[in-house]
Structure 1
Amino acid sequence: MRWDHVRLEPLTPAHAEGLFEVTRDPDLWRWLPGDQPRDVDEMRQWIADAVLTREPFAQIENGSGRVVGTTSFYEVVPEHRRLAIGYTVIGSDWHGTAINPETELLLLTEAFEARGVLRVAWYTDASNVPSQRAIEKLGAARDGVLRSHLTRPDGTQCDTVVHSVLAAEWPAARERLVSRASRGRSR
């Protein structure tokens, strides 16, 4: 999957060193379950675990060929034609660039047009307001809140905000994303 500034490829241990380098900032891992990898070997293990539990992708910047982040399909339920997008970590240098809107455009195109899903969801910690705003910019609707849904690494409970885009909403969301991606700045 490829767009102007980013391509997605299946995440493998070969991406570990690059992914570790661009995601060293602890704030990037604040909202993800589990611990931040402390070295390249732990990143390889994180990737191995990701491959077992979801469909992870490496985000590769087209111009440089660098790994700039990762994202995943998960909760893929073919019989109900739905999936979720998440476990996204993008290096700080690429925040506010075309990378995220193009990534979401690629993932949503794959989900709705290639896989024929009827619903794509995103789950965020209720405290993670910036991610919720970013998801809403995609054209996703806020479905509601799952109270005390997950236990954070520090043992506290968090509420989870659920957003979604339905197949009938995809054409309008696609138009909005194409417009955002075409306006997005590169590094």
Structure 2
Amino acid sequence: MEGKHVRLEPLSLDHAEELFEVTRDPAIWTWLLSGQPRDVGDMRSWIAEALEQREAFAQIEVASGRVVGTTSFYEVVPAHRRLVIGFTIVGSEWQGTAINPEAKLLLLSEAFDVRGTLRVAWYTDAQNVRSQRAIEKLGAVRDGVLRAHMTRPDGTQRDTVVYSMVASEWPAARERLTSRVSRDPSR
């Protein structure tokens, strides 16, 4: 999947070194349910685990060819034509650019237009307001909160906010996202 700013390719162990370098900022890992990799070996382990659990993609900046983050499809249930988008990390330098919105445009296009998905969901920590606003900007609707849904790395319980977009909402969301990505510079 490729757009003007970002290319999504299957995540592999070959991405470990670059991904480790661009995700060294501890703030990137604040809301994730896994600890920050301490070295490239830890990043390889993180990638290996990701590949066992989900359909993970490396986010590659088109202009430079650099790995700038990851994102994934998971909880894919073909019988019910639904999936979840998440496990997204983006290097600090690329946050607030067109990279992640375009990555979501590519993923949503794949989900709705290619796979015939009827419902796409996102989960985020109830304390992660920045993520909630970003998901809302995609055109997703807040479904509710799952209380004490997951355990954070520090052992505290996390409430999870659930968002979704259904197939009938996709055409309007696609139009808004396409317009947003076309006017946003990648940097």
Query: TM exceeds 0.5?
Result: yes
Quick one: distance in 1 between partners of 2:35 and 2:97?
A: 26
Aligned to 1:68: 68
Q: Secondary structure at the residue paired with 2:64?
A: coil
Local SS of the residue matching 2:33: coil
1:72-125 deviation per Cα after TM superposition (whole angstroms, max 9, x unaligned) = 000000001000000000000001111011000000000001110000000000
TM-aligned CA deviation for residue 158 of structure 1: 1.0
- The alignment status of 1:19 with 2:26, answered yes or no, reads no
Q: Distance in 1 between matches of 2:59 and 2:95?
A: 13
What is the aligned length? 187
- CA-to-aligned-CA distance 1:38-66 (integer Å, 9 cap, x gap): 10011011000000000000000001000
Aligned amino acid, residue 40 of structure 1: V
Cα-to-partner distance string for 1:111-149 (whole Å, 9 max, x where unaligned): 001110000000000000000000000000000000010
Q: Take 2:18 and 2:173, find their aligned partners in 1: how far apart are those partners?
A: 31
Secondary structure of the residue aligned to 2:73 is: strand
Aligned residue in 2 for 1:33: 33
Aligned to 2:151: 151
Give the percent of matched residue pairs that are identical in Structure 1 and Structure 2. 73
Superposition deviation, residue 164 in structure 1? 0.5
Shift of 1:186: 1.7
* C-alpha separation in 2, matches of 1:186 and 1:176: 17
Counterpart for residue 139 of structure 2: 139
Shift >4 Å, 4+ stretches: none
CA-based RMSD? 0.5
Which one-letter code corresponds to 1:96 in the other structure? G
The separation in 2 between residues aligned to 1:34 and 1:130, in whole angstroms, is 19
Alignment-derived partner of residue 161 in structure 2: 161
Q: In the aligned structure 2, how far is the partner of 1:23 from the partner of 1:71? A: 13
Q: Is 2:9 the partner of 1:9?
A: yes
- Cα distance in 2, alignment partners of residues 101 and 186 from structure 1: 10
Match of 2:53 in 1: 53
| Distance in 2 (alpha carbons) for counterparts of 1:185 and 1:96 | 10
Q: What SS does the corresponding residue of 2:143 show, helix, strand or coil?
A: strand
Q: How many angstroms apart in 2 are the aligned matches of 1:60 and 1:84?
A: 21
Unaligned runs of 5+ in 1: none
